[in-house]
Amino acid sequence: MLLRVDKATTSKYLLKIRPTSERLVDIGFKNIVVAMASMVAIVLFSIFAVVYYESTESISRYGLRFLFSSAWNPVTDEYGALTAIYGTLFTSIASLLIAIPLGVGTAIFITENIIPKYIRDVIGIMVELLAAIPSVVLGLWAVFIMEPFIRPFLNLIYELFGFIPFFGTQPLGAGMMPAILILVVMILPIITSISKDSLNQVPSKLREAAYGIGASRWTTVFKVIIPAAISGITGGVLLALGRAMGETMAVTMIIGNSNNFSWSIFAPSYTISSMLANQFGEADGSQVSSLMYAALILMILTLMVNVFAQWIVKKLSLKY
């Protein structure tokens, strides 16, 4: 079968076998990148493990009672995170309800050809640059500029609708409402830029077909474009929700940091992350463990939202 050729010719035409050194580099490099990829998994797991391990003392002592008590008393060792959990959920969901129409509206405005493209591009870039401003700077701005500016308006609401429990206390500076507004500012860029990307990805055939059968611009937007882009928009909204729940600095500076439970959105309150930022530095003993328990709850909440976001994007995006 094989042709018999002399050695000189063989070595001339045979494919060269890689030198051992080159193969070692190849294998070594692959192992290094595998190790680096596993770092993500290791970090993620150890974050969970460490937070869970540190909070075991509190979990075994309070159990689920921790979720439904608003006591926070280092002297008697009584801890409960109801105020913080309520504050986290309420501020993030309320800010989401304000930010969704604003963000999606802006995204539609800069993807439809209402005004020249370069103006729309500038608006898009400006909204995205808003995401680059650190949260502590937004907090500083909220404390010194925004809160004094909106207080008269909040006072007006209090005077007119004070009988409703949600507006039941006088706004005296820091409180839940300014925190909600600054959260809106922080999550707006996320919703806008993700919605913009998914609106841009809708095939132009769909739009042209809708115009062709006589639909007006906004009928097209509501009946064709948004349903086609809904997976991306929902994903963006959920990511924003996760961000809002975990947001720390701006909220800590403006929410007033009080563990007294109140239905009023003008009263000082707490979120889990602001509680951590505020108390973790000086805490010791079982307070650390209780704070870790609160951190674990926060992690589980954000994890659920993020996993749900990824799932829904996958689930809904199969359409187009």
Partner 1 sequence: MNYSSKKSLTFNPSLTRNIGNKALTITSAFFAFISILPLILVISYVLIKGGSYINLDTLILEPEPPGDDLLSAGGIGPAITGTFIMTIIASIISIPVGVGAGVYLAEYSKSGRFANFVRFGSNVLAGVPSIIAGVFIYAIIVSTKILFGSMFSGIAGGISLSILMLPTIIKTTDEALKLVPDTLRRAALGIGASKFTMISNITLPSAFTSISTGILLAIARAAGETAPLIFTALFSRYYITSIDDLFYEMGSLSVLIYNFALEPYEAQNQLAWAASFILVVVLLSLNILSRWIGTLGAFSKNKV
Ranges within 178-237 binding partner 1 (CB under 8 A): 185, 188, 192, 216-219, 221
User: Which sign, positive or negative, has the C-alpha torsion 224, 227, 230, 232?
Assistant: negative
Kindly calculate the radius of gyration of the chain based on its CA atoms and give it in whole angstroms: 27
Nearer to partner 1, 171 or 235 (CB): 235
* Chosen residue from 136, 160, 164, 209 binding partner 1 by CB under 8 A: 136
- Least Å distance, CB 52 to partner 1, is 11
- Least Å distance, CB 16 to partner 1, is 8
Given a contact cutoff of 8 angstroms between Cβ atoms, the answer to whether 197 and 109 are in contact is: no
Q: Tell how strand 78-79 and strand 72-73 pair up.
A: antiparallel
Query: 3-state class of 73 per DSSP?
Result: strand
Q: Does 14 bind partner 1 (CB under 8 A)?
A: no
Please name the amino acid found at residue 293: Y
User: How many binding residues for partner 1 (CB under 8 A)?
Assistant: 89
Backbone angles phi, psi at 192, to 5 degrees: -65, -50
Please name the amino acid found at residue 226: I
- The span from the CA of 299 to the CA of 85, in Å, is 12
- Least Å distance, CB 32 to partner 1, is 6
Site string for partner 1, 60-89 (x = CB under 8 A): ------------------------------
Given a contact cutoff of 8 angstroms between Cβ atoms, the answer to whether 130 and 189 are in contact is: yes
Q: Does 276 bind partner 1 (CB under 8 A)?
A: yes
Q: Does 123 bind partner 1 (CB under 8 A)?
A: yes
Nearer to partner 1, 50 or 164 (CB): 50
* Chosen residue from 171, 175, 232, 246 binding partner 1 by CB under 8 A: 246
CA angle 67, 267, 302 (to 5 degrees): 40
* Chosen residue from 23, 65, 223, 319 binding partner 1 by CB under 8 A: 23
User: Could you tell me which stretch among 1-9, 42-50, 58-66, 224-232 binds partner 1 (CB under 8 A)?
Assistant: 42-50
- The span from the CA of 176 to the CA of 77, in Å, is 27
Given a contact cutoff of 8 angstroms between Cβ atoms, the answer to whether 219 and 276 are in contact is: no
Given a contact cutoff of 8 angstroms between Cβ atoms, the answer to whether 295 and 281 are in contact is: no
Q: Does 160 bind partner 1 (CB under 8 A)?
A: no
- The span from the CA of 17 to the CA of 108, in Å, is 59
Nearer to partner 1, 187 or 267 (CB): 187
Q: Does 308 bind partner 1 (CB under 8 A)?
A: no
Q: In the structure encoding, which two tokens stand for residue 192, read together? A: 């806008």
Q: In the structure encoding, which two tokens stand for residue 33, read together? A: 């990148």
Backbone angles phi, psi at 215, to 5 degrees: -70, 145
Nearer to partner 1, 33 or 156 (CB): 33
Provide the 10 A C-beta neighbour count for residue 118. Answer: 8
Q: Does 100 bind partner 1 (CB under 8 A)?
A: no
User: Could you tell me which stretch among 58-66, 67-75, 76-84, 126-134 binds partner 1 (CB under 8 A)?
Assistant: 126-134
- Least Å distance, CB 262 to partner 1, is 22
Nearer to partner 1, 10 or 216 (CB): 216
* Chosen residue from 310, 315, 319, 320 binding partner 1 by CB under 8 A: 310
- Least Å distance, CB 10 to partner 1, is 18
Given a contact cutoff of 8 angstroms between Cβ atoms, the answer to whether 116 and 265 are in contact is: no
Q: Does 300 bind partner 1 (CB under 8 A)?
A: no
Site string for partner 1, 253-272 (x = CB under 8 A): x-------------------
